[in-house]
A and B are shown apart, each in its own frame.
Chain A
Amino acid sequence: MENNHTQRLWKDLDKPVLLIYLFLVIAGWFNIYSVVYDPETTEGFQLAARYGKQLLFIGFAFLLALFVLVADLRVFTQFAYLYYGIAILLLLAVLVIGTKISGARSWIKLGPISLQPSEFAKVATCLAFAKYVSHPALNMKKVKNQIAAALWFLVPMMLILLQPDAGSALVFLSFVLVLYREGMTGKVLWAGLIAIILFIAALLVNNYIILAAIALVIGFLIFRNKKTFKNIALGVLFFALCSGYVVGVDYAFHKLSPHQQQRINVVLGLDPDIKGAGYNVNQSKIAIGSGGFAGKGYLQGTQTKFNFVPEQSTDFIFCTIGEEWGWVGCTVFLAAYLWLIVRLVKMAERQRQPYYRVYGYGVACIFFLHLFVNVGMTIGLLPVIGIPLPFFSYGGSSLWSFTLLLFVFLKMDARQ
């Protein structure tokens, strides 16, 4: 009976996702080993070094995955709101009793282990959000319901911003994409895109030129469409909104703390300060760039070896891939990741239970946002925002939460 159950589970499990998970985790470990590796040291394998600890984290992650697969799925789905409540309490607690590490109060120290509640909040929010959104009586076409659903991820996001940990908070915006899938109009995504473009423009270009450009575009649109009173009024309103936003961005930018301003300036190319804020990005670009087509070979990276790139084993781990494995390695890496994400979306679509579908989308979008922000930062397309690269960055909390996220969904999928 037991055996039979296990066999069925194995048969229903999505093997491609499992394989890619194993591939990413193991490749991630070898990368961390390479970062820590000192060519001159004669000491053998050390459990206390980062690669040793990461091995322990991975071992525990596998146990966790096994537990998820074996346990009753209801352990997770039934108590989703409870977990969410606990996560919120932990996020509140960390603001008070948390340990400050590099400026943010985001860790709770329990003896030798440090835990990052925001990582577990990700899992809990995904479960609870999916449960709420998939409620049969809820019409997600209604804006009111969409706003109510958004509160589920906006609340933990705000709490994390208070730590302040902008990177972890940003991840929660991935649920906007899920909302879009579940009924929100695509106009919100367009508005977001316009907001980002205007944001960059507001900092790069003279504000009056932007306002003039907006006015031109709106004038053109009104000219092309029917010149009804309603259209003109809408145009004027839109113009007022845009100009308010542009002026607001300019104002808010100057209210930011100097180091945040600098990080944004570095990305926009306004501040080439390669000794200060631009240092990480410049070194990171050199490391990746010097990898060339095929890379320097495993353990052969000089830029990353000589500790030029800071946060090498955590946020900037992608540099090592770029330097040692080159463009070929990066292509394999990107392909594997995108394949995983797209496969998760496809799997989500095939779920019969709405709950499972929404959850699956949540997992896919969270992975996507991590990839988007982390890699974008190391290749100098996005500002420096501390956020781990799933399965690659050193650290237990993030590895466990990603494992948990993924395997709960695998279990859901297997239950079909």
Chain B
Amino acid sequence: MKRYTLNKSAVLIAIFLAVGLIYWIRLFQLQIIDDYASEAQNNTIRNKVQYPGRGLILDRNGEIIVYNEPVYDLMVIPGQVSVDETDWNLLADLLELDSAGVRERYAKARAYSRYAQSVFERQISKEVYGRLQEYLYLFPGFDVQSRTLRRYPKPIAAHVLGDVGEVSEEEIKRNPHYQPGDYIGKSGLEKFYEEELRGKKGVKVVMVDVRNREKGSYKDGALDSLPIPGEKLYTTLDAGLQEYAEWLMQGKRGSIVAVEPSTGEVLALVSAPGYDPNLMVGRVRSRNYNMLLTDPQKPLFNRALMAYYPPGSIFKLPQALIGLQEGVIRAGTGFPCDKSLVGCHNHADALSVAEGVRNSCNPYFYQVFRRVIMQGKDPNRFIDSRLGMEQWNKYIKSFGFGTRLDIDLSDAKAGYIPDAAYFDRYYGKNQWAFSTIYSLSIGQGEVSLIPLQMVNLAAIMANRGYYITPHLVRAIGEDQRPPEMDLSPRVPPIDRKHYDPVVEGMYGAVHLPGGTARRAYIDSIVVCGKTGTSQNPHGKDHAVFIGFAPKDNPQIAVSVFLENSGFGGTWAAPTASLLIEKYLTGKVQRKWLEEQVHDFTIFTYDEKGRIIGPPAH
């Protein structure tokens, strides 16, 4: 018994001594056999981060719309600089700075850390770098780090592409991948596809002597790794169409969005006024950012995805579809244009759904919506309206309204669709009925859409009954793999057959007498469209047009939204028709119309670049 316990104590002591022995031998190996000693005695080992180039961004035809330009950051390790021996004036000359600025920079780096590397001067151009390189040996403690900046061959699609900037402390905390001085996508596609675009940093381990001169690669580069460039982004944009759309929108406020209906691919996405993306790059970024931020026309605001607008008469399209699906009207149902119900322009009474859409008859859709909301399911009209409202809300949301479309840009907003609970809160339960909410019938009142949802409606009409979530990236990387998105068709609960009379009305609006969108007409292409005029408290009405073409097998759906530009048929419809012509035929024949549309503006710049015109809201 006694022996047994003694044994156990000996076993434990043996374990302790064995571990001690193993560690002792390991230390012998590290400290005496391995050659760390010679390497570290007079040399210091430094990790030089090799920054990868960010992924290129291409348009749908393979045209490069974003590329990289090399620049250089001058880095400093203050602990290795001998302040008295450094020729500060020469350094200032080389960097094209004044000598006070150079000393200030040094003091700042010194205050940050003696031993850690920090940026002394960022984004030095190729030319300055060329001269600096020859003299760099005179400046121990300084080193050059190559970086890249984004460049845009065409000054287009700033809102879509977004910009790149230095990581903030917040972002470093959230994601350990980043270190101070790294760049990160700040908005747009650059932000959404950051992980794909950024690539993988490499490292080069070099030995430097006490004067910080490189003494070659450590362990013959065994520990080095090459940077892996970011992946290419194949976008759905058509650079030519995007450029043309932005040209047409000059001097206007609003938005153009074009998609390919069968795939949901966004061909162009414009928010006007916009800005040149080259302004948001490199050293000028923060100055330009502040300038754009204070611009009263709000160019940084992406109207296509963030602006809430009342849709106006384009809302009559889903209203007609819901009426047909609920069976409260048929394709041949007519209503007189009774202006005592709701105001309207002068036209013949609409004898069918198609004519109602063609003339955009307000009383007609007043009646349709009344029948949808008050179906007589309950004798009490308040309760009846509430039931109808709940049903209508389900239908209208299935068109992608009132919820965020899952586009690959994080800016997109949801728009707003009221429901019964909203009116209960606003008016009190059983205190409201159809008569309270009838303005919804013509897209006014409590409803608002973003322009992306408007073009999505056009796509649903073009597809006769479904849409695919609009998106901006088709493929990623060398293997061109599709992005991780749900691109299955989304189908509102409306039977296919009900689309025909409504599309017929959209055809009539462009082609037949009395149609509101006659200015969207093109000789060679059958365009279907719907205008809208969106009343708003900020001055003149907003003009809207949505449409698609050709009528059969549509290739493009467009929405044009022009703030404070009056009736939708006047400017919005021809703008859309020009885009359709440009996209489907490659060039625009109607130069006169192009001139007219381009020259129509709601604000201008004077010779000093100041804005003349009403401010944005």
B40 touches A290 (CB 8 A): yes
Given contacts A181-B9, A290-B39, A293-B32, contact A322 B223 (CB under 8 A): no
How far is B36's CA from A272's CA once the two chains are assembled, in angstroms? 17
Instruction: Decide yes or no whether B41 CB sits under 8 A from chain A.
Output: yes
Which of B20, B36, B44, B205 interacts with A338 by CB under 8 Å? B20
In the complex formed, the residue of B with least CB distance to A284 is: B30
B31 touches A286 (CB 8 A): no
B36 touches A177 (CB 8 A): no
A290 touches B201 (CB 8 A): no
Q: Which of A63-71, A74-82, A162-170, A300-308 contacts B (4 or more CB under 8 A)?
A: A300-308
Q: Which of B11-19, B229-237, B434-442, B480-488 contacts A (4 or more CB under 8 A)?
A: B11-19
Instruction: Decide yes or no whether B513 CB sits under 8 A from chain A.
Output: no
* Set of chain B residues within 8 Å of A376, measured between Cβ atoms: 23
B203 touches A274 (CB 8 A): yes
In the complex formed, the residue of B with least CB distance to A338 is: B20
Instruction: Decide yes or no whether B176 CB sits under 8 A from chain A.
Output: yes
How far is B26's CA from A248's CA once the two chains are assembled, in angstroms? 31
Query: A193 CB to closest chain B CB, in angstroms?
Result: 10
Which of B24, B36, B45, B47 interacts with A275 by CB under 8 Å? B47
Query: B181 CB to closest chain A CB, in angstroms?
Result: 14
* Set of chain A residues within 8 Å of B26, measured between Cβ atoms: 379, 381
* Set of chain B residues within 8 Å of A38, measured between Cβ atoms: 114
B45 touches A181 (CB 8 A): no
Q: How large is the interface on B (under 10, 10 to 19, 20 to 34, 35 or more residues)?
A: 35 or more
B23 touches A322 (CB 8 A): no
How far is B24's CA from A337's CA once the two chains are assembled, in angstroms? 12
Query: A273 CB to closest chain B CB, in angstroms?
Result: 8
> Which of A274, A282, A361: most chain B Cβ within 10 A?
A274
Query: B184 CB to closest chain A CB, in angstroms?
Result: 18
Q: Which of A4-12, A125-133, A326-334, A403-411 contacts B (4 or more CB under 8 A)?
A: A326-334
Which of A288, A361, A372 interacts with B31 by CB under 8 Å? A288
Instruction: Decide yes or no whether B153 CB sits under 8 A from chain A.
Output: no
Instruction: Decide yes or no whether A226 CB sits under 8 A from chain B.
Output: no
Instruction: Decide yes or no whether B34 CB sits under 8 A from chain A.
Output: yes
Q: Which of A108-116, A217-225, A341-349 contacts B (4 or more CB under 8 A)?
A: A341-349
A289 touches B34 (CB 8 A): yes
* Set of chain B residues within 8 Å of A337, measured between Cβ atoms: 20
A306 touches B31 (CB 8 A): no
B8 touches A181 (CB 8 A): yes
C-beta contact mask, A280-294 vs B, less than 8 Å → 1, else 0? Answer: 001001111111110
Query: B143 CB to closest chain A CB, in angstroms?
Result: 15
* Set of chain A residues within 8 Å of B20, measured between Cβ atoms: 334, 337-338
> Which of A285, A338, A365, A371: most chain B Cβ within 10 A?
A338
Given contacts A275-B201, A290-B41, contact A180 B223 (CB under 8 A): no
A302 touches B31 (CB 8 A): no
Query: A340 CB to closest chain B CB, in angstroms?
Result: 10
Instruction: Decide yes or no whether B28 CB sits under 8 A from chain A.
Output: yes
Q: How large is the interface on A (under 10, 10 to 19, 20 to 34, 35 or more residues)?
A: 35 or more
How far is B5's CA from A180's CA once the two chains are assembled, in angstroms? 10
Instruction: Decide yes or no whether A186 CB sits under 8 A from chain B.
Output: yes
How far is B11's CA from A180's CA once the two chains are assembled, in angstroms? 10
B45 touches A286 (CB 8 A): yes
Instruction: Decide yes or no whether B37 CB sits under 8 A from chain A.
Output: yes
C-beta contact mask, B26-69 vs A, less than 8 Å → 1, else 0? Answer: 11101110101101110011010100000000000000000000
How far is B261's CA from A124's CA once the two chains are assembled, in angstroms? 71
Instruction: Decide yes or no whether A152 CB sits under 8 A from chain B.
Output: no
In the complex formed, the residue of B with least CB distance to A301 is: B40
Query: A296 CB to closest chain B CB, in angstroms?
Result: 8
Instruction: Decide yes or no whether B586 CB sits under 8 A from chain A.
Output: no
B223 touches A272 (CB 8 A): yes
* Set of chain A residues within 8 Å of B114, measured between Cβ atoms: 38
* Set of chain A residues within 8 Å of B223, measured between Cβ atoms: 272, 274, 282
In the complex formed, the residue of B with least CB distance to A184 is: B8
Given contacts A302-B40, A379-B23, contact A345 B12 (CB under 8 A): yes
Query: A342 CB to closest chain B CB, in angstroms?
Result: 6
* Set of chain B residues within 8 Å of A282, measured between Cβ atoms: 223
A303 touches B9 (CB 8 A): no
B31 touches A292 (CB 8 A): yes
Given contacts A302-B40, A342-B16, contact A322 B31 (CB under 8 A): yes
Query: B518 CB to closest chain A CB, in angstroms?
Result: 61
B36 touches A290 (CB 8 A): yes
B12 touches A180 (CB 8 A): yes
A186 touches B11 (CB 8 A): yes
* Set of chain B residues within 8 Å of A288, measured between Cβ atoms: 27, 30-31, 36
Instruction: Decide yes or no whether B116 CB sits under 8 A from chain A.
Output: yes
* Set of chain B residues within 8 Å of A372, measured between Cβ atoms: 19
A334 touches B203 (CB 8 A): no
B16 touches A274 (CB 8 A): no
How far is B218's CA from A286's CA once the two chains are assembled, in angstroms? 12
* Set of chain A residues within 8 Å of B17, measured between Cβ atoms: 338, 342
Which of A341, A342, A345, A379 interacts with B27 by CB under 8 Å? A379
Q: What 4 pairs across the A-B complex have the smallest Cβ distances?
A: A289-B36, A290-B40, A292-B37, A327-B31
Known: A302-B40, A376-B23. 14 other contacts (CB 8 A): A286-B40, A286-B45, A289-B31, A289-B34, A290-B39, A293-B31, A306-B115, A322-B30, A330-B27, A334-B20, A334-B27, A345-B13, A372-B19, A375-B23
**B residues in contact (CB < 8 Å) with A:** 5-6, 8-9, 11-13, 15-17, 19-20, 22-24, 26-28, 30-32, 34, 36-37, 39-41, 44-45, 47, 49, 79, 114-116, 176, 201, 203, 205, 222-223
12 A-B pairs in the complex with CB atoms less than 8 angstroms apart: A181-B5, A186-B8, A274-B47, A275-B203, A279-B47, A292-B31, A326-B31, A327-B27, A334-B24, A342-B16, A379-B23, A381-B26
